Structure 1
Amino acid sequence: MTERLQPGDTAPDFTLTDDTGQQISLSDLRGRRVIVYFYPAAMTPGCTTQACDFSESLEDLKEAGTEVVGISPDDPEKLARFRERDGLSIMLLSDPDKAVMTAWGAYGEKKLYGKVVEGVIRSTIVVGEDGVVTHALYNVKATGHVARVRRDLGIG
């Protein structure tokens, strides 16, 4: 079992490629609260719902000093198609070797249709302005999840 992050842990830094080919580091976002969410695959129904929900909430989240970063194992080209197809406004990062997912506890054994498999664990981690985890949610459902995160963070 991959070790999961807990509130109070220092969030592991990372540098990943976004859908435009730029390198983005978590440390670049220091000074702002960051919602880092992990999802299995771009352009699938649940992942699309979640990405669209975060994009629709982005203005309110930014007004509250919060950035949103979505991470999947998809390559940057697929992420660019995802952004274009669904009009996404959130930051999308590629973790093809799943190293960041593993370090954050978002990759490992999970149940899928009653079977235990190895894969991406749909997860959302909130990192405070100081780089410390404030919320760590694992095995979340795509539908309704963004509303829950907003409530937890007190963002209308």
Structure 2
Amino acid sequence: MLDGPAVVEMFKPGGSRTFQEYSTVVFIPYIESQLEYRSRLDLVWDCYLKSGSLKATVRCNHGKGIRRRVTASGPLPSNWQNFLRNSDNKEELFSFLSEQLVVKESKQLVLTVPPRKDTANLAPCNHEEADTRMMVHAADALECGHR
């Protein structure tokens, strides 16, 4: 089980110039290495609620960061940390990276091998932070017979 935002924080873009290059050269190889010997890998992202968010105030206090659209050919920001301060940036980045994994790996998020058809145990989940959402995924993994 991986905390997606923590992975993004841990693996900075390095020499990548575009979001596609970051995905292909940095992010996907790490996820593939984690999938290599596992029957299931849950990659859990933060989920930013539009209303009733307890974390919205905390995010505002961290600063807004500069808004940048996330597209495959879009240039990476020169200040990765500032880019990640903006919730809209992170939401788009997490969605983009998930789409890249689904297309490249032909696996579904929650990444499972084989792909899951029934994800009822995972929904609804109203936790915003990946680190607490992971508990729902852990319970589901146990329910499916994983250790």
Q: TM-score, normalised by structure 1?
A: 0.32
Q: TM-score, normalised by structure 2?
A: 0.33
More strand by share: 1
More helix by share: 2
